[in-house]
Amino acid sequence: MGILADWEIANLSRLKKMISPFTDNLVSKVDDKKILSYGLGSYGYDIRLSPSQCLLFGGTQRGDCDPKSFDQEILKPLELKEDENGQYFLLPPYGYCLGVALERLTLPKNVTVVAVGKSTYARSGIMVNITPAEAGWEGYLTLEISNCTGLFNRIYANEGITQLLFYTGETCAVSYQDRKGKYQDQPAKVVFPTV
């Protein structure tokens, strides 16, 4: 199993729509303004946070969080704000939220994705946790984002939020799509836990 290089990611995205929309370079400025980069890197691809939805844990102070019987009432929508630095959600101290990726993935049956953090966010106390997207998975990734600091922290919409690393190997006998995985074909909105 090896990691895909930029040209391999580009070929799969152009020919098989592995990433859509696809940007064939690393974008770090828009209209002469610096942004958190997104797009194709040497051995990965930085996806963006969608401005459409960001849900904060803490909509209620009662009960518990049960992944087998998830109560959506424990979440509250964060307001999309904007200033001269761009559009952003403001994550409270030690806050944890669910967002959604702007890009859609369609993974071949021999490619699995692992997400890793972006240095700029990690150095600001933001951690992004995304479980692997297995071979054959399709959809928009639900993003799990933590503010590990005692300060309010911005997470910018339409800008890079996490880097995806694509691993390839022999084609698997049974892909995520073949076994009809429960998170297959996720829409462009947060998908809640299900058993």
Q: Which residues are catalytic?
A: 144
Strands 126-129, 26-30: pairing kind: unpaired
Extract the tokens encoding 179. Answer: 């076994």
Extract the tokens encoding 141. Answer: 């990734």
Burial code (b: 16+ CB inside 10 Å, e: under 16) for 37-74 equals: bbbbbeebbbbbbbbebbbbeeeeeeeeeeeeeeeeeb
Distance between start and end Cα atoms, the chain? 30
Alpha-carbon gap, residue 78 to 155, rounded angstroms: 11
CA dihedral 101, 159, 36, 23 (to 10 degrees): 80
DSSP 8-state class, residue 145? E
Query: Which are the contacts of 33, defined by CB distance < 8 A and separation ≥ 6?
Result: 85, 86
Residue 97's Cβ-side half-sphere holds a number of Cα atoms within 13 Å equal to: 23
